A and B are shown apart, each in its own frame.
Chain A
Amino acid sequence: MGRRSLVFTGLFCAAAAWATVGVKEVPHFSLADTGGAMHTDREWKGSTVLLFFLTTDCPISNGYVPEMNRIAKEYAARGVRTYGVMTDTSVPLGDLRKHVKDFAYTFPVLIDPTQILVRYTNADTNPESVLIAPHAGIVYMGRIDNKVENFGEQRQQATVHELRDALDAALTGRHVAKAFVQPIGCSIIRVN
């Protein structure tokens, strides 16, 4: 009996990580980006949406900004709308603006004081990417690529690009082979 309950616990944990992937209604939101422009869930309707969960002081997240910018630019041409989401609600607006300017993000970075998008996706790491396809919901969550394999274990160049693979699949109507790949980075701090 005890053994079986342990097995179930294991199953439950795995399921929890997967539970966020799939059709789940996008919550109604109205969020400002760091430049002051407002964004609502209405602008997502009918589009493939890519979210990058971020913070200002995470070296792994910051190190990925050039690749995030490249992906945003390349896939914008294919109709993908990319947004950053600031996850640390304790950072003052001035610091957020300075960070976004310094790192020259090419996509809007949303300020999410109640973490509505963190709760919607269950993202728990900076950086973490979430890909939302029209009608299919969340089709991919996790790391951008395998450049950072673990803390202190970094490739000089990525050899597997999970997010790009997911984007290519979603945009051509194919099944996303790997729907979740564990991201490595800084934990998202949930607000109560």
Chain B
Amino acid sequence: MRQLVMLGLAGTLAAADATPTFNHDIAPILYQNCATCHRPGEVAPFSLLTYQDAAKRAKQIATVTHLRFMPPWKAEPGYGSFQNERRLTDAQIALIADWAANGAQEGDPAEKPTPPVFTEGWQAGQPDKVFTLAQKYSLPGDGPDQYRCFVIPMNLDHDVYVKSFEFRPGNRRIVHHAIVFSDPNGAARKLAGNGNSYSCFGGPGFGPVNMVAGWAPGGSPSVAPKGMEVVVTKGTDLVLQIHYHPSGKAEDDQSSLGMIFGDAPTVGRGMVFINSRAIHIPAGDDHYAVKTGVTIPQDVEALAITPHAHYLCKDMKIDAHLPDGSVTHLIWIKDWDFNWQGQYCFAQPVKLPKGTRVELEYTYDNSSANVRNPSHPPVAVHWGEQTTDEMAVAFLSVKLASIADQETFRRQIGLEFINEFLAQADDLNDFPPEISPQARARLRMAISLFDRNHDGKLDDEERKTLMDFLRARAQ
């Protein structure tokens, strides 16, 4: 009874406030958070720039913002602070609901904010090189999503330094997201055979995976700050992976990738690859956890983080445990959705001193209650690159103290990767693709030398001795 009285009181108070209007309350929210995509010619299915556009969808906007389906932003507030956050506050969501429930009124024209002005065409400026798909790619109107890798032959006779990668979707109705990988070994050309593209899912279908850029609806092109250009070495191809989502009718796409070149980088960069292949999810298990991590071998500053898993993953938490005992939350995604993956750039670089342990914990739901489960009924799921497999990956892009540290860092982080592999692997001969064939031979020898009790395995003590030996050599 008391609750009812209080509800009544709250209603009276709300009524005392002015009813929200498009011009006064809603347009500023839409222009700030939605209009990048929801404007004519852009990726969203309809525009939200005018009162008429928004008013007729008021109920819809209230529903999808309440669910936080829109705007798409997966990172939980309070766990990492990121650039270009597209997340409405609870107050903004309540305001939209209030507006929709009270007739979606237009309000005083004098209060209407000026609609935002957007750059037409290439957002980062005219590219130095534009790669456009050689042929239109045809997608049927119906059926499963497709992941297609297009080989971009760079045919370089010298290294180039890319300041900006900008993806322009050709057909916005079907292009869902895109990732650019680099391929120094011609692996993608082989996979494409006589054509220039091949089917791929998650990664590019070869290892080691080196992701250089990505695009998702609403994202702005990645422009490297001065000194942090991406090096594309002579002989390297790029691979453009496009995720296509059928629209209901047969469609064609001919997307483009623009590149702006700059000067040789002067800032040391490194990539920390956190990965577990020890994934064995029983059919029906609705809460399977995978934990792994890596120890940072030098003082670094984290610039961006890209978590990755497939359809069963629900929850992703990545924390940095600093040597002083403090914990820095890097990211938490409570409702992972493969369709909205992307790179999260930290608002400010995150200092990770040498010895910091970056811990990843992902949880998976392999029950039939998980709508996104690709297997019906559920089956046991293991590590792998197919849609029906799972992964537990995070890429952490870091800045080093100096460019002179790059080579050492690359070797050191490679060793940390090996350490995690040795600690977790079910089979020490089952090397991940990130470990090169040459390294495998040496590693195999080292494992046999340090396997003191000759049981074919490395216990924690043996592994530590081996790693101390390898780390000393990598300094």
Interface residues of A (CB under 8 A from B): 1-3, 6, 57-59, 62-67, 88, 90, 102-104, 149-157, 159, 186-187, 189
Contact = CB atoms under 8 A, between A and B. Distances in A.
B59 A159 contact: no
B127 interface: no
A9 B63 CA distance: 21
B60 A186 contact: yes
Nearest to B46: A57
Contacts, number: 68
A153 B142 contact: no
A107 to B, nearest CB: 15
B249 A103 contact: yes
25 contacts: A1-B1, A2-B3, A2-B4, A57-B46, A59-B247, A62-B247, A62-B248, A63-B247, A63-B248, A65-B248, A66-B141, A103-B248, A150-B371, A152-B67, A152-B339, A154-B372, A155-B376, A156-B144, A156-B387, A157-B144, A157-B376, A186-B57, A186-B60, A187-B59, A187-B60
B247 A67 contact: no
A63 B246 CA distance: 7
Contact of A65 (B56, B67, B249): B249
A187 B57 contact: yes
B45 interface: yes
Given A57-B46, A187-B60, A152 B248 contact: no
Most buried by B among A6, A103, A149, A187: A187
Interface in B262-284: none
Interface of B: 1, 3-4, 45-46, 52, 56-57, 59-60, 63-64, 67, 69, 141-142, 144-145, 246-249, 337, 339-340, 371-372, 374, 376, 387
Contact of A67 (B60, B142, B376): B142
B284 to A, nearest CB: 16
Given A3-B1, A153-B371, A102 B249 contact: yes
Closest 9 CB pairs of A and B: A66-B142, A62-B248, A151-B69, A187-B59, A65-B248, A2-B4, A149-B371, A2-B1, A153-B371
Given A2-B1, A2-B4, A66-B142, A155 B247 contact: no
A157 to B, nearest CB: 7
Contact of A187 (B63, B69, B339): B63
A89 B64 CA distance: 22
A156 B375 CA distance: 9
Contacts of B145: 156
A88 B56 contact: yes
A103 B246 CA distance: 12
A175 B3 CA distance: 42
A153 B376 CA distance: 15
A58 B69 contact: no
Nearest to B72: A152
B40 to A, nearest CB: 12
Contacts of B56: 88, 90, 189
B248 A151 contact: no
Contact of A156 (B69, B248, B374): B374
A154 to B, nearest CB: 7
Given A66-B248, A155-B376, 8 more contacts: A59-B247, A63-B248, A66-B141, A66-B142, A103-B248, A155-B371, A157-B376, A189-B59
A152 B45 contact: no
Contacts of A62: 247-249
Nearest to A186: B60
Nearest to A63: B248
Nearest to A184: B63
A123 B2 CA distance: 37
A58 B248 CA distance: 11
B151 to A, nearest CB: 27
A66 to B, nearest CB: 4
Contacts of A150: 67, 371
A186 B64 CA distance: 10
Contacts of B57: 186-187, 189
A179 B74 CA distance: 36
A65 B424 CA distance: 48
A152 B46 CA distance: 18
Given A151-B67, A152-B337, A59 B45 contact: yes
Contacts of B337: 152
Contacts of B142: 66-67
Contacts of A3: 1
A30 B249 CA distance: 29
Contacts of B247: 59, 62-63
